[in-house]
A and B are shown apart, each in its own frame.
Chain A
């Protein structure tokens, strides 16, 4: 299974863009990249996922490099409510399982 590497923590000023990197250099061609976040004492919340192309939804944008070895989750205008642990997960193509790593703790400050 492809492993992911994320920085343990990041800070971001409120109103600014938060760019959360993820390295997944061993990803296979048919494995999707998923992003979830977990606000303290809650269940994880789905954010976005992608395979090759960049993706955007109402929550965030996902930029995947051409070689697919890394990706960046972008929160365009971070708010205090975006403070959470963000998990980048590579999902094996032949399973429904999501294996969570340690994630990035994003702290948005006023």
Chain B
């Protein structure tokens, strides 16, 4: 199956700093990538959808100025958590799909655990 990687796998940062998370599709070109957030004992919550070369589409309630998403190439999307605060501590997961369509399958990365002190 298709492989999606994330880097870093875990990160600890101080409150007020920014953190960048990378999501890469290793063996396929991803025209669309998705970013999710998951708090402990909860399900995944979709944050935004990004298409290569265009602005991301954010879900309701997700601050676009706080969670900056860049999808500059067909194999790389980045999520930057700006001015991170302890409440941003969470498990961030990306997924990628190819050309879209009714039967398109999303493949997920292993996730990045963010802890803001």
Give 1 or 0 for each of A88-109: 1 = CB within 8 Å of chain B CB. Answer: 0001010011111111000000
Chain A residues with CB below 8 A from B4, complex form: 43
Size category of the binding interface on chain B: 20 to 34
Within 8 A of A (CB), among B70-116: 91, 93, 95, 97, 100, 102-111, 113
Query: Nearest B residue to A85 by beta-carbon distance?
Result: B43
Q: Which residues of A contact B (CB under 8 A)?
A: 30, 32, 34, 36, 38, 41-46, 49, 51, 87, 91, 93, 96-103
The yes or no answer to B68 lying at the interface (CB within 8 A) is no
The yes or no answer to B67 lying at the interface (CB within 8 A) is no
Chain B residues with CB below 8 A from A101, complex form: 43
- Knowing A32-B103, A96-B97 are in contact, say whether A44-B49 is a contact too (CB < 8 A): no
The CA of A46 and the CA of B34, in the complex, are separated in Å by 15
The yes or no answer to B61 lying at the interface (CB within 8 A) is no
Q: How far is the CB of A36 from chain B (nearest CB, A)?
A: 8
Asked if B97 and A99 make an inter-chain contact with CB atoms under 8 angstroms apart, the answer reads no
Identify which of A30, A43, A45, A49 gathers the most chain B CB atoms within 10 Å of its CB: A43
Asked if B1 and A99 make an inter-chain contact with CB atoms under 8 angstroms apart, the answer reads no
Asked if B102 and A30 make an inter-chain contact with CB atoms under 8 angstroms apart, the answer reads yes
Q: Which residues of B contact A (CB under 8 A)?
A: 1, 4, 6, 32, 34, 36, 43-46, 49, 91, 93, 95, 97, 100, 102-111, 113
Q: How far is the CB of B53 from chain A (nearest CB, A)?
A: 16
Asked if A96 and B32 make an inter-chain contact with CB atoms under 8 angstroms apart, the answer reads yes
Asked if A97 and B46 make an inter-chain contact with CB atoms under 8 angstroms apart, the answer reads yes
Query: Nearest A residue to B33 by beta-carbon distance?
Result: A96
- Knowing A41-B111, A96-B100, A97-B34 are in contact, say whether A46-B46 is a contact too (CB < 8 A): no
The CA of A99 and the CA of B44, in the complex, are separated in Å by 8
Chain A residues with CB below 8 A from B6, complex form: 43
Chain B residues with CB below 8 A from A51, complex form: 103
Q: How far is the CB of A81 from chain B (nearest CB, A)?
A: 16
Query: Nearest A residue to B106 by beta-carbon distance?
Result: A98
